[in-house]
Amino acid sequence: MLFFFVCGVRRAWGWGGLCALWLALLPAAQAQAPLPALLPPEVEAALARAGLPREALSVLVVDAQSPGALPRLAHRTQVPMNPASVMKLVTTYAALDRLGPAYTWSTPVFVEGPVQGGRLRGNVYLQGRGDPKLVLERLWMLLRRLQAQGIDTIDGDIVLDRSAFELPAHDPARFDGESLRPYNVGPDALLLNYQSVGMTFVPDGAAGWARIQYDLPLAGVERQATVALAAPGAACGDWREGLRAELSDPGRMVFQGVYPAACGERLWTVAPPDPQGFAARAVAGLWRELGGRLTGQVRDGRVPAGLLPAFSATSPPLAEVVRDVNKFSNNVMAQHLLLTLALQKNGVATLEGGRDALRQWWQTRLPGAEPPWVDNGAGLSREARISAAALGRMLQQAWASPVMPELMASLPIAGVDGTLRRSQSRPGSAHLKTGSLRDVAAMAGYVHAASGRRYVLVALVNHANAAAARAALDALIDWTARDF
């Protein structure tokens, strides 16, 4: 035990050479023995203030570039823990490694029938292939390209082919009862605008109301154009609650409350009800807003065999998608990455197929390391599990990978951006993915130490009071960055 204590303070006392000699003389098994579970004093203090026992925390700090090195800190590293959104690290690294940073998704568009005088006498088919970023502006461009085929009027239907994903019906309220929150949106082979609508509230003091701008026209939905302003001098506060929104009816978006002028311009994004009908409403509404006419309907179906695409819409590259997933912890995009692994392997995507593909990738890249249970790949799960030791080993392997720059660039920077912008640790000292659920607080990634070293840091907290763990996690970042 004396050896571990001395090596733990070797930089402070200048005994680095003696430690290196002892390591060389120790048997391999002894050299790999775990360090004593001694947490830094500032971390212990932060845990105590938060009312969290040491047993709620699993933590690993180890050199990113030396897979065989003893960890600087190791506490309960073999215990499988719920990582919340930190699980996205596994999914995004697997996708980068298997598919490549330049991978793109295609959404083919098929035109069935002759076009004469601006009229198509037949159907249009949009075939979803899992593009996770077919957002409003890209859907607009897709429909403009359809009009560039000489089509102003469709004497038929617009058919949405979503058969690339074979998934059970998704209940957005199942996880936590918050069915209108965008983080609960389920995957869809033809996912449009993250299946969400943004509403921007712009106060007009002279008129006495706030105008409401909707970023996506949904066909058949009655939308309120303005909402009354609150009394002069009213604080911004919980402005969403004050709006008293009625959003449970798929055909109406109503606000019965008021909007405080003190809030200025604000954006509220919601996932409207009737997720199965969202894509049809979005396509029909935007087609008509572009001046297109449709005599039939927008409906689900399949592309007829043998029909060739008129053109395809291409997504941004995977590296950009991974950045969105990790910087902003986008759940449905992460699930699309897992399903895309299955789609590339099997020709059709199921959740089980995605889990199998990821498990096989893990066993190839990290033989001997216990595979995680990724569930849906996004971390929005009560069942997902991974140990700090397994995740730390994956991050060490990723550091030596050709896709390390893309993975690193996708991670939030402490105190700067993404989900770490409010971190109280030293700004710019770490690139880390964060995760939080009702009883989980977690982070994992890379810390840049004052010595120039790069460390893997994994910290997982599972406890009913996990939300209070942020100060302890910030203390771990600072302790790792000091490199003593």
Render pLDDT for 287-308 as a digit per residue (tens, 0 to 9).
Answer: 999 999 999 999 999 999 999 9
Q: How far apart are CA 60 and CA 388, in angstroms?
A: 6
**pLDDT band for position 484 (cuts 50, 70, 90):** low
Fold of 26-101+318-482: Beta-lactamase (3.40.710)
pLDDT at 7 over 70: no
Average model confidence (pLDDT) across the chain? 92
pTM confidence score = 0.90
Best CATH choice for the domain 106-174+275-314 from the list 3.40.1280.10, 3.40.50.1100, 3.50.80.20, 3.40.50.1220:
3.50.80.20
Residue 67: predicted pLDDT: 84
Contacts of 21 (CB under 8 A, 6+ apart): none
Q: How far apart are CA 170 and CA 178, in angstroms?
A: 13
**pLDDT band for position 41 (cuts 50, 70, 90):** very high
Residue 66: predicted pLDDT: 87
Q: How far apart are CA 432 and CA 22, in angstroms?
A: 33
**pLDDT band for position 246 (cuts 50, 70, 90):** very high
Average pLDDT over residues 248-264: 96
Contacts of 298 (CB under 8 A, 6+ apart): 157, 158, 159, 160, 219, 279, 280, 281, 283, 284, 287
Query: Which residue, among 147, 456, 166, has the nearest Cα to 289 in the 3D structure?
Result: 147
378-436 pLDDT per residue, tens: 999 999 999 999 999 999 999 999 999 999 999 999 999 989 999 988 899 999 999 99
**pLDDT band for position 211 (cuts 50, 70, 90):** very high
pLDDT at 56 over 80: yes
Contacts of 312 (CB under 8 A, 6+ apart): 106, 107, 108, 109
- What ranges make up the beta strands (E) of 48-152? 57-63, 73-75, 106-111, 115-116, 119-120, 124-127
Structure tokens at 223: 């939308």
Report how far apart, in Å, the C-alpha atoms of 12 and of each of 6, 155, 216 are: 10, 79, 59
Q: How far apart are CA 478 and CA 104, in angstroms?
A: 38
Minimum mean pLDDT range among 21-35, 101-115, 355-369: 21-35
Residue ranges of domains in the chain: 26-101+318-482, 106-174+275-314, 197-270
- The answer to whether the beta carbons of residues 89 and 327 sit under 8 Å apart is no
pLDDT at 223 over 90: yes
Average pLDDT over residues 183-198: 97
Average pLDDT over residues 130-158: 98
Query: Which residue, among 260, 279, 263, has the nearest Cα to 271 in the 3D structure?
Result: 279
Residue 424: predicted pLDDT: 87
Q: Which residue has the higher pLDDT, 351 or 66?
A: 351
pLDDT at 340 over 80: yes
* Cβ-count burial 249-271 (b if 16+ within 10 Å, e if not): ebeebebeebbbbebeebeeebb
Q: How far apart are CA 170 and CA 311, in angstroms?
A: 30
pLDDT at 477 over 60: yes
Q: How far apart are CA 132 and CA 331, in angstroms?
A: 10
Query: Which residue, among 316, 315, 324, has the nearest Cα to 92 in the 3D structure?
Result: 324
Query: Which residue, among 192, 128, 193, has the nearest Cα to 161 in the 3D structure?
Result: 128
pLDDT at 336 over 90: yes
pLDDT at 111 over 90: yes
Helical spans, DSSP H, in 219-274: 239-243
pLDDT at 117 over 50: yes
Residue 197 φ/ψ, nearest 5 degrees: -125, 130
Minimum mean pLDDT range among 18-22, 107-111, 222-226, 269-273: 18-22
Query: Which residue, among 162, 215, 161, 158, has the nearest Cα to 187 in the 3D structure?
Result: 162
